[in-house]
Amino acid sequence: MRLQTVEISGFRGFAADSLFDVDADAIVVVGANGNGKTSFYDAILWALTGRVQRLSDSTQRLVNRFSDSGQARVRVRMGVERGAHLLTVTRTFDGKEARISVEESGEILRGPEAEGRLIRVLWSNAAGAVDPFSTLGNVLTRSVYLQQDLISQFIDDASDHDRFNAISELVGAGRITDLQSELERSKAAWSKATNAKSAELNLLRNRIVNLEARLAELRARQTVQPVEMDNAEWSTWWADIAELGVTISGPPPLSRESQVAIDNAMKQLDAERRALERKLHLIDQISGDLVALSALDRSDPSEGRAVLATLRERINVLKEDVREEQARMSKARSIQAELEEYVEQMHTLASIALQHLGASCPVCEQTYDVEGTRRRLELMVSRAGALPFVDDGENLRAALENLSTAESEALRLEMSLRQQESAEAAYSSLKQGIGKRALELGIQVEEETSSDYLLSVRKDVWSAIENASEAQNRGERFALQLSRMGDAASINELASEIATLKQKLVVEQRDLTDRTRTGDRAQIIIETLRESASDVVAERIQNLQPLLTDMYGRVDVHPAFQAVKFLTSVVRGRGRLTTVVSDPQSAVESDAPETVLSSSQLNALAVCTFLSLNMGLEKPPLDAIMLDDPLQSLDDINLLGLIDLLRQAKETRQLFVSTHDARFGSLLGRKLRPNSVHQRTVLITLDGWGRAGPSVDHREIHADPAPMRLKAVAA
Q: Helix (H, G, I), strand (E, B), or coil: what is residue 384?
A: coil
3 state SS of 87: strand
Q: List the 693-701 sheet strands across, edge first.
A: 145-146, 624-628, 654-659, 26-31, 681-690, 693-701
In angstroms, the CA 608 to CA 613 distance is 9
Three-class SS state of 479: helix
Supply angle C-alpha 44, 46, 51, rounded to 5: 155
- C-alpha span between 664 and 126 (Å, rounded): 37
Contact between residue 482 and residue 259 where contact means Cβ atoms under 8 Å apart:
yes
**Mean per-residue pLDDT, 34-63:** 83
pLDDT of residue 75: 96
Q: Check the CA dihedral 670-671-672-676 and report its sign.
A: positive
Q: So what's the pLDDT on residue 300?
A: 75
What is the pLDDT of the chain when averaged over all its residues?
Answer: 82
435-493: per-residue pLDDT in tens? 888 888 888 777 666 678 888 888 988 988 888 898 888 888 877 777 776 666 677 77
Q: Per residue in 183-206, is it b (16+ CB within 10 Å) or e — as a string?
A: bbeebeebeeebeebeeebeebee
CA dist., res. 503 & res. 497, Å (int): 10
3-state secondary structure of 52: coil
Instruction: Decide: pTM greater than 0.85.
Output: no
* Lowest model confidence (mean pLDDT) among 47-61, 71-85, 278-292, 659-673: 47-61
For the sheet with 2-9, list strands across it: 18-21, 2-9, 72-79, 87-93, 98-104, 107-110
Sheet with 563-571: strands ordered across: 563-571, 574-583, 588-590
Each residue of 506-553: pLDDT tens digit?
998 999 898 888 888 888 887 787 777 777 777 777 887 888 888 888
pLDDT digits (tens, 9 = 90+) for 306-365: 888 888 888 898 889 888 888 888 888 888 888 888 888 888 888 888 887 777 777 777
Residues contacting residue 639 through CB under 8 Å, at least 6 positions apart: 630, 631, 664
- Angle 105-108-114 (CA atoms, 0-180°, nearest 5)? 110
Nearest residue to 696 (alpha-carbon basis) of 8, 16, 11, 18: 18
Distance spanning both ends of the chain, measured CA to CA:
50
Distances (CA, A) of 4 to 26, 138, 493: 12, 23, 86
How many other C-beta atoms lie within 10 A of the C-beta of residue 235?
A: 13
Give pLDDT tens digits for 552-610.
Answer: 888 888 888 888 887 777 666 666 778 888 988 888 888 888 888 888 888 888 888 88
CA distance 119 to 132: 7
Among 186, 183, 162, 165, CA closest to 174: 165
pLDDT for residue 6: 95
Q: Are strands 18-21 and 72-79 parallel, antiparallel or unpaired?
A: unpaired
Residues 502, 495: Cα–Cα separation, whole Å: 11
Q: Is 543 exposed, middle or buried (0-12, 13-18, 19+ CB in 10 A)?
A: exposed
Contact of 610 with 620, CB cutoff 8 Å? no
The runs of H, that is alpha helices, within 123-159 are 132-143
Q: pLDDT band for position 657 (50/70/90)?
A: very high
- Please choose, from the candidates 5, 41, 112, the residue with its C-alpha nearest in 3D space to the C-alpha of residue 656: 41
pLDDT exceeds 60 at position 417: yes
For residue 7, give every residue at least 6 positions away whose Cβ sits within 8 Å of its Cβ, in sequence order, or none. 17, 18, 19, 20, 73, 74, 75, 76
For the ranges 98-107, 161-170, 684-693, 702-711, the lowest mean pLDDT is seen at: 702-711
Residue 710: how many CA atoms within 13 Å on its side-chain side? 1
> For the chain, what's the residue count?
715
Which of 44-53, 245-254, 273-282, 400-409 is least confident? 245-254
715: pLDDT strictly greater than 50 = no
Give the Cα separation of 78 and 589 in Å (integer): 44
Distance CA 708, CA 347 (A): 168
Residue 390 has pLDDT above 60, yes or no: no
- Is residue 26 very low, low, confident or very high in pLDDT (cuts 50, 70, 90)? very high
DSSP 273-302: HHHHHHHHHHHHHHHHHHHHHHT------H
Contact, 497 vs 483, CB < 8 A?
no
What is the SS3 assignment for 696?
strand
pLDDT band at 706 (very low <50, low <70, confident <90, very high): low
What is the pLDDT, as a whole number, of residue 617?
75
